[in-house]
Copies of this chain bind each other. A is one copy, B any other.
Amino acid sequence: MKSLIQEGTLMSLKRLAVSDDQRVVVREVLSRLGDRWSVRVIYHTAGDPIRFSELKRKIDRINPISARVLTRTLKQLEKDGLVYRQVYPIIPPRVEYSLTELGRRFLELAMEIIDWSIENQHDFEAARREFEAQAVPQ
């Protein structure tokens, strides 16, 4: 299994090292995983098309998000091609968000990591405890 990692990663890094454009895309995608809201927004956009306010309300239930941040996150995701934004030019305005195919696959990959994190929760917590037991016993 060690060789599996090393061969796989070496191939990836070669490809990663070749082109600047590729490094930019990778950085972009990993950033979406790492920022505070993108994954959560994408998750709540996975079902039927959802309006701005409803999306905000759903997210607020778990963790409050400001309109400004939700707007910025959605705009970024739209630019990345992960989210589709449909505008109905009526009054009052109606805007619906949904996932693109790219967005759906992104969510699947994100979920793999999320599930893995939860499965290994205790290992992570044990590592942290041990680290803090060693460091600066004062």
A30 and B109 form a contact (CB under 8 A): no
Contact B80 A46 (CB under 8 A): no
Given known pairs A47-B6, A79-B128, the reply for A121 and B39 (CB within 8 Å) is no
Interface residues of A, dominant DSSP: helix
Interface hit among A11-19, A49-57, A65-73, A88-96: A11-19
Total copies of this chain within the assembly: 2
From B9, B15, B29, B46, A113 is in contact (CB under 8 Å) with B29
Q: Give 1 or 0 for each of A1-45: 1 = CB within 8 Å of chain B CB.
A: 110011011001101110001100111111111111001000100
From known contacts A126-B81, A127-B80, A131-B78, infer whether A33 and B121 are also in contact, taking CB-CB under 8 Å. no
> In angstroms, how far is the closest chain B Cβ from the Cβ of A11?
8
A114 touches B16 (CB 8 A): yes
- Known A-B contacts: A22-B117, A29-B124. Give 13 more (CB < 8 A): A5-B46, A9-B107, A13-B43, A25-B118, A25-B120, A28-B124, A29-B116, A30-B39, A30-B113, A30-B117, A102-B123, A102-B124, A109-B112
